[in-house]
Structure 1
Amino acid sequence: MSAMTESHKTDPPETGSAATGADSDTRPGTVALQRTWWERNGRTTSVWAARLLLITGIVAVWQLAAGTVFDPSFTSRPSDIWGRLVDWNADGTLWMHSWITLQEIVYGYALGSAGGAVLGFALATLPTVYRVLDPFVMALYSIPKVALAPLFIVWFGIEMDMKILLAAVTVFFLVFLNTAAGVREVDRGLIDAVRLMGGGRRDIALKVMLPASMTGMLTGLKVAIPYALIGAVIGELVASNRGLGYLISNSAATFDTAGVFATLVVLSVIAAILNFLVGLVDHRVSRWKPAEAQA
């Protein structure tokens, strides 16, 4: 009888331990602690390998086809583009013009993003005001930004300020609209729940609407990156003697297609770096989301 009692006392902990282990293994979202390097990084490695293979293939086909399939005076060659970048790097042309355009992009992006995020959040929390202003905002958003360049030249001249403001205006509407959409799509059940718990307008704005608007705002920040480049380069193309836009215009005027493509490569690299930085911010802000939503 004593043996049976002892057996009965010692069995449950073993069963409970096994059940706990089974639950931890099958619980959604859990990851095995012991994983190989490929299991941890295989997907990312495959994606980057596919990207590298695609770029290599395009460059190889381009290099072989230039001069045989199409005239290289119109499309240049990757080897000529690389040579132009090396020459510009050696004489300082690349870094001087890139630095000017980078300042215009960053300042314009920061100014437009800040204004768009703040005004988008503020107006979206006031539904009546937003409905009144919405058609005017959309009308201004519909204006081609290149059409604003001559007007900005009259107002601000041809110095860096004009390019910064043109980039800022281009970015502003994208961040504004996406932030406002994020606020307006907040689950009404969450707002009602905060009100039932005694929360006021301040609590609803800071604890419900602000976190909910982050997804829309970050989407706007990502989408706005190439438009910041477009705004700055358009300003340089219209009136400037410095910057990457000027390099494109000058190279095209002298029929230097290698110079045009070399400048486009530099702009693509700048856009990729800015997109990577915004992606890091998005990853840190979105850590509260489920893994599926982040993917």
Structure 2
Amino acid sequence: MPVQRTWWQRHGSTTTVWSLRLLLVVVLLAGWEATAGSLFDITFTSKPSAIAERLGEWSADGTLWTHSWVTIQEIVYGFLLGALAGALAGFVLASLRTAYRVVDPFMMALYSIPKVALAPLFIVWFGIGMHMKVLLAAATVFFLVFLNTAAGVREVDRGLVDAVRLMGGTRRDIALKVVLPASMTGVLTGLKVAIPYALIGAVIGELVASNQGLGYLINDAAAQFDTAGVFATLVVLSVVAGLLNVFVGLIGRRVNRWKPVESQG
């Protein structure tokens, strides 16, 4: 007969952790508010009440929603484009050993370039519109997905491949029935890791040159020495990042489904 556990036994640990997190946030915000103007110059640090007021103003006049929607579109489009290209390139090239050995050092060299250094070149090629931010986000995502996908393909058990060959399987059978399923952990891990970098790529593009988006809001507020506006935009970016992390967690669960049961713990 299964043991009946109380609600606290089932959720007590999670509740305690979230309560402590909330308490920590409240203490930090209260301390910040109390010391602003005395220990810290609000010209440089602002204070939580001023940040909340700015968020309220931007929400009321639509500024927050307009610029947030632009950045979210850039993140989504950049992620989808970079992830699709990276997964396809990683799967195809890693399946061709000689081709992969040829392109591997070039891919690593391109991956090592700070993506912010690409922004001026992208501006020259694509202007300062949404296309530039989408492509910069896609470039950031591409290499992470490519490298993880290629690693997943190259780590496929060669014994399975040889077994399918002995049974008369074609290259297409090996690719679709052995390599693809076995490499999915690498693919999904690449997607999981790349999601936050899509946000980074999009915001970098907006910070360098833009007339809309959350990165533009940061630049505009900083140019006016509106510290509360800068912090307000950072709060919004933190919320967006938090939502992305929730999505990352869902992908993480999906990744674990492809692992042996004993390796999921």
Residues 252 and 50 of structure 1, relative CA distance in 2, 3 Å threshold:
same
Q: What value does the CA root-mean-square deviation take over the aligned residues?
A: 2.3
Residues 127 and 202 of structure 1, relative CA distance in 2, 3 Å threshold:
same
Measure the CA separation in 2 of the matches of 1:291 and 1:269: 33
Moved more, 55-64 or 245-254: 55-64
Shift of 1:285: 5.1
Q: How does 1:30-49 map to 2 (within 5 A)?
A: 32=2, 34-49=4-19
The aligned counterpart of 1:18 is: none
Equivalenced residue count is 265
1:155 aligns with 2:135: no
TM-score when scaled to structure 1? 0.81
Q: How does 1:207-222 map to 2 (within 5 A)?
A: 207-222=177-192
Aligned partner of residue 181 in structure 2, secondary structure: helix
Structure 1: any 5+ residue segments left out of the alignment? 1-24, 26-31
Aligned counterpart in structure 2 of residue 131 of structure 1, from 86, 101, 109: 101
Measure the CA separation in 1 of the matches of 2:122 and 2:167: 51
Aligned counterpart in structure 2 of residue 60 of structure 1, from 9, 13, 30: 30
The 8 Å contact of residues 117 and 217 in structure 1, kept in 2 or not, is answered as yes
Measure the CA separation in 1 of the matches of 2:146 and 2:256: 20
The aligned counterpart of 1:75 is: 45
Residues 214 and 57 of structure 1, relative CA distance in 2, 3 Å threshold:
farther
Measure the CA separation in 2 of the matches of 1:294 and 1:84: 45
Measure the CA separation in 1 of the matches of 2:98 and 2:151: 15
Residues 75 and 215 of structure 1, relative CA distance in 2, 3 Å threshold:
farther
The 8 Å contact of residues 248 and 263 in structure 1, kept in 2 or not, is answered as yes
The aligned counterpart of 1:229 is: 199
Measure the CA separation in 1 of the matches of 2:177 and 2:211: 49
Residues 128 and 288 of structure 1, relative CA distance in 2, 3 Å threshold:
closer
1:241 aligns with 2:238: no
Q: How does 1:1-20 map to 2 (within 5 A)?
A: none
Measure the CA separation in 2 of the matches of 1:282 and 1:196: 35
The aligned counterpart of 1:7 is: none
Instruction: Report the AA paired with residue 175 of structure 2.
Output: A
The 8 Å contact of residues 185 and 259 in structure 2, kept in 1 or not, is answered as no
Structure 2: any 5+ residue segments left out of the alignment? none
Larger radius of gyration: 1
The aligned counterpart of 1:122 is: 92
Aligned partner of residue 107 in structure 1, secondary structure: helix
Residues 290 and 66 of structure 1, relative CA distance in 2, 3 Å threshold:
farther
TM-score when scaled to structure 2? 0.90
Q: Kindly, what percent of the aligned residue pairs are identical?
A: 74
**Deviations 1:28-78 (Å, cap 9, x if unpaired)?**
xxxx57443334334433433333233233323322332333222222212
Measure the CA separation in 2 of the matches of 1:76 and 1:291: 50
Aligned partner of residue 154 in structure 1, secondary structure: helix
Aligned partner of residue 32 in structure 2, secondary structure: helix
